[in-house]
Amino acid sequence: MYRAEFRYGNATLALTAQPDGRGWKITLPDGSERTVGRVEVAESRLVLHTEAGILSLAFVRTAQGVEIQYRGRVYRFQRVEAFAGDAPQHASAEGVLTAPMPGLVSKVFVQQGARVEAGQRLLVLEAMKTEQALRAPFAGVVARLNAREGELVQEGAVLVEIEALSD
């Protein structure tokens, strides 16, 4: 089961996803349940294939969470962990790339010590029938590679550390 808590305005909303025979059973903050059979993630679109049909949403990731556009409105969600303050937070801007959710490392494109360019694909993580590419936040060298193809990782696991090139 995957559980995430988000902050929307002053409210904390919990979202849970649990695998079932048809895909994932999603429990929304209002308690309603939906089955998502497949999810496609493209540059800035999230396409959900549900029992009620296909839902296509524009989204953008931010340092604090995600913004989703739905029916002409923008909804800003922040991860609750961002408010905790007691747990160390890594940012891709610091060169530390972590697993955004539990999943399977399906492909690794780099090796430790390799030089990388900004935006270069480093690895692919599969979760909830989606593929998510983790990319280099800036040009540098792969200082640590903690991911191997076929490995299951937990949310927040440090997968790659990039050190900036010194001029």
Contact 22, 44 (CB under 8 A): no
Q: 84: how many CB neighbours lie within 10 A of its CB?
A: 10
Instruction: Specify whether the CB–CB gap between 101 and 80 falls below 8 A.
Output: no
SS3 state at 83: helix
**What's the pLDDT score for residue 115?**
95
pLDDT in tens, 101-115: 888 899 999 999 999
The CATH number of 90-164 is 2.40.50.100
Scanning 53-157, the segments in alpha helix (DSSP H) are 81-84
Using one digit for the tens of pLDDT, what is the confidence trace for 84-137?
443 344 445 578 888 888 888 999 999 999 999 988 999 999 887 788 888 888
pTM value is 0.47
Q: What is the CATH number of domain 2-83?
A: 3.30.700.30
In this predicted structure, the answer to whether residue 69 has a pLDDT above a threshold of 60 is yes
pLDDT attached to residue 63: 66
| Poorest-pLDDT segment among 54-58, 76-80, 81-85 | 81-85
- Encode pLDDT of 19-54 as tens digits: 676 777 777 666 778 888 887 877 778 788 888 888
Matching residue, tokens 């540059």: 43
Q: What integer pLDDT is reported at residue 29 of this predicted model?
A: 63
Q: What's residue 80's pLDDT?
A: 64
Q: Do domains 2-83 and 90-164 have the same CATH topology?
A: no
The CA distances from residue 85 to 80, 82, 90, in Å, are 10, 7, 12
Domain spans, the chain: 2-83, 90-164
